[in-house]
Amino acid sequence: MESKRQQKFARVIQKDLGEIFQREGNTFLPNVMITVTKVRATPDLGVVRVFLSFFNAEDTDTAIRTIREKTAEIRYTLGKRIKDQVKSVPQLDFFVDDTNEYVERMDKVFSGIQKSEDSSEE
């Protein structure tokens, strides 16, 4: 369970990273929209886990690898934005948020179940 402090810190990071990716995301990954879906902070606020969703990306593994290579640049930009709000800029760990893919798979499974039920009723 995250403390209120962690949640507030995570919201600040999520908002600022979202704006960074909105403005400068095209320089990291051309023609790809990057969304910050979730941010989780450690209790000491030293490490932040950032979950990203990629729209229009051909390969999410390549996209996340590219973002991880640019972590220092992203952290620097974030630091300039939040310097007055925090003592130190946290280390950023980026992960792919595959929630949408999971939902799509579950929809296919449920529609397959429903189709088999419909055909067995006839």
Q: How confident is the model at residue 59 (pLDDT cuts 50, 70, 90)?
A: confident
Looking up tokens 């095209």, which residue turns up?
26
Q: What is the pLDDT of residue 71?
A: 95
| Structural contact between residues 19 and 34, judged by C-beta atoms closer than 8 angstroms | no
Q: Please tell me the least confidently modeled range out of 22-31, 70-79, 99-108.
A: 99-108
Q: Stretch 20-34: mean pLDDT, rounded?
A: 91
Separation of CA 79 from chain center: 18
DSSP 29: S
Question: How many domains are contained in the chain?
Answer: 1
Cα radius of gyration (the chain) = 18
* Full domain range(s) for residue 109: 4-121
Q: Is the pLDDT of residue 76 over 80?
A: yes
pTM above 0.85, yes or no: no
CB 33 within 8 A of CB 56: yes
Mean pLDDT of the chain: 88
CATH of the domain at 98: 3.30.300.20
